[in-house]
Chains A and B, each alone.
Chain A
Amino acid sequence: MKKLINDPADVVAEALKGVAAAHPDRLRVDHEQKIVYRRDAPRQGKVGLISGGGSGHEPMHAGYVGLGMLDAACCGEVFTSPVPDQMMAATTAVDGGAGVLHIVKNYTGDVMNFEMAAEMAAADSGVRVESVVTNDDVAVTDSLYTAGRRGVGVTVLLEKIVGAAAEEGRDLDAVLALAQQVNDNGRSMGMALTSCTVPAAGTPTFELADDEMELGIGIHGEPGRSTVKLAPAREIAQQLVEPVLADHDFTGAPAIVMLNGMGGTPLIELYLMYGEVAQILRKSGVEVARCLVGNYITSLEMAGCSVTVLRASDELLKLWDAPVNTTGLRWGV
């Protein structure tokens, strides 16, 4: 294992020290609880937005704390959900009297820890908490009898759009309904060229031969649905976009598209992939109104990418264009 670390056990704590040192103007870090707060939280009368999850997906979620997005991010160990104590503390700290929305990605651990936190917050502090669980990953067969689809790329788009709505002063019911709408209309599919190494584990999570790729990955370095032969970018783009388009109707409305890098793929390849994806979308009658290309929701140093398509509307585009000032996304300010 070759990593820029000191002790594997200290990776998250020491990275948060760096976050605090780099962005004192925008962020405040609770090092004890491993929570990153927006500098000016709580904002009176504004719905508080909290997300969180395992670390290793940077810039998500701490990189999306700030004006127009999250009020706090709870950081777990690498690829491990944070604990209810963190969500409890963050919920109380960001409540400005309008209630708090928990943005949770659909993984067994994340859902259970956030559920326990919401139960405890309701019992202890009286803060009104609502939750949205993202589950946009079409690689997973959805069924009542399984853990269901994973929450991946749409989480980034949701945090931006819902963050703008909360900033506008919409109430908790409206913010929750909007969050649900975004999740319901977004789909993602990802692939990996390499695995990644969890610092505490020390060796790659799975093996891939030089001529293989993993199709249908999530964001935790977990193996995907199938290992297949490596193909030209044009074919990979097809393999990613087809299942997304087959799962939801994206025609007849503006779309927001994200071509996301998994952490270890250079931008030149991501742009090449975006070119392929944009061409397929155009041929399929999808009108791309906005796009993001870059590393937004990652799996440590994994090489690969994911495609997220969101069926938007004029209202969603207006919220998308609203000012945002976080370390991961910044425009209009």
Chain B
Amino acid sequence: MAAISTEQAGAWLADYAQVIGENAAMLTDLDRQTGDADHGSNMDRGMKAVAALDVSSFDSPGALLKKAGMTLVSNVGGASGPLYGTFFLRFAGALDDGPDDASGLLGALRAGLEGIEQRGKAERGDKTMIDALAPAVEAFETQSGAGTSAALTAAAKAAARGRDEATDLIARKGRASYLGERSKGKQDPGATSMTLLLESAARTLGSA
């Protein structure tokens, strides 16, 4: 038994696609300040392709999320395509392991984080999406005894905190790293879109 249903996975993707659409201009504007002004439009192109998938044609959440990962890899390009694509592919692959819903989701989130760390050769403190995802996984683990809803809410809050704390860091990975000291004080676009993904998960994947 998977930790989430195929319908929940579909709702998560649909919610995230909508949120990315609403925030595309904001994400592109953050990227304009430290990168090359395309994060929002790239993510929007990818999530629109994901939202066009027919959820009813998938017989498991893992199959749907794996397809979503491949769709992002094939449609986004840049760094965010392989990174978010790898996140969903690894998340999907780990989803079925675990004695209960919370441990199944924790394993999936952790696998997604490890996938991003490997693909991006980045770690916490480099001022990337990992600075939102890593504290979120920790918060989820701490709260996982309280059920998936509470754990996901804690994870989303931790992601937002991590995103804000990363603003004061100097970027060491990705295009913002070329700015050196000048990246300090700028909010990271990847940590921002990752926080949106976890907030979206908290709205759609929780059960008591």
* Chain A interface residues (CB < 8 Å from chain B): 54, 76-85, 107-109, 112-113, 115-116, 139-141, 145-147, 150, 198, 200-201, 203, 205-206, 218, 220-226
Contacts and interface: CB of A to CB of B under 8 A. Distances in A.
Contacts of B76: 80, 83
Contact of B41 (A107, A146, A200): A200
B81 A222 contact: no
A146 B177 contact: yes
A332 B106 CA distance: 62
B75 A112 contact: no
Interface stretch (B10-18, B32-40, B91-99, B194-202): B32-40
B172 A145 contact: yes
Contacts of A203: 32
Contact of B36 (A141, A145, A221, A224): A221
A112 B32 contact: no
B120 A108 contact: yes
Contact of A108 (B73, B175, B180): B175
Given A116-B73, A146-B177, A205-B32, A77 B38 contact: yes
Contacts of B174: 108, 147
Contact of A81 (B35, B77, B180): B77
A59 to B, nearest CB: 20
A82 B81 CA distance: 10
26 contacts: A76-B78, A77-B42, A77-B45, A80-B42, A81-B78, A82-B77, A83-B81, A84-B82, A107-B175, A109-B82, A112-B119, A113-B82, A145-B126, A146-B173, A146-B177, A147-B172, A150-B178, A198-B37, A205-B32, A218-B178, A220-B175, A221-B36, A221-B37, A222-B34, A222-B179, A223-B179
B32 A79 contact: no
A146 B174 CA distance: 8
B40 to A, nearest CB: 9
Interface in B93-125: 119-120
A84 B177 contact: no
Interface of B: 28, 32-38, 41-42, 45, 73-83, 119-120, 126, 172-175, 177-180, 182
Contacts of A205: 32, 36-37
Given A80-B38, A81-B78, A113-B82, A222 B73 contact: no
Contacts of A115: 82
Contacts of B38: 77-80, 198, 200-201
B173 A76 contact: no
A111 B194 CA distance: 21
A78 B36 CA distance: 10
Contact of B79 (A78, A109, A221): A109
Contacts of A81: 77-79, 81
Contact of A112 (B28, B82, B126, B178): B82
Contacts of A220: 35-36, 175
B35 to A, nearest CB: 6
In the A-B complex, the 6 residue pairs with the smallest Cβ-Cβ separation, listed nearest first, are: A109-B79, A109-B78, A112-B82, A220-B36, A201-B37, A200-B41
B131 to A, nearest CB: 15
Contacts of B37: 79, 198, 201, 205, 221
Contacts of B172: 145-147
Contact of B32 (A80, A113, A116, A206): A206
Contact of B120 (A84, A112, A116, A224): A112
Contacts of B80: 109
Contacts of B34: 222-223
A202 B173 CA distance: 26
Given A80-B77, A83-B73, A147 B41 contact: no
Contacts of A150: 178
Given A85-B74, A205-B37, 5 more contacts: A108-B173, A140-B177, A147-B178, A223-B34, A223-B182
Contacts of A206: 32-33
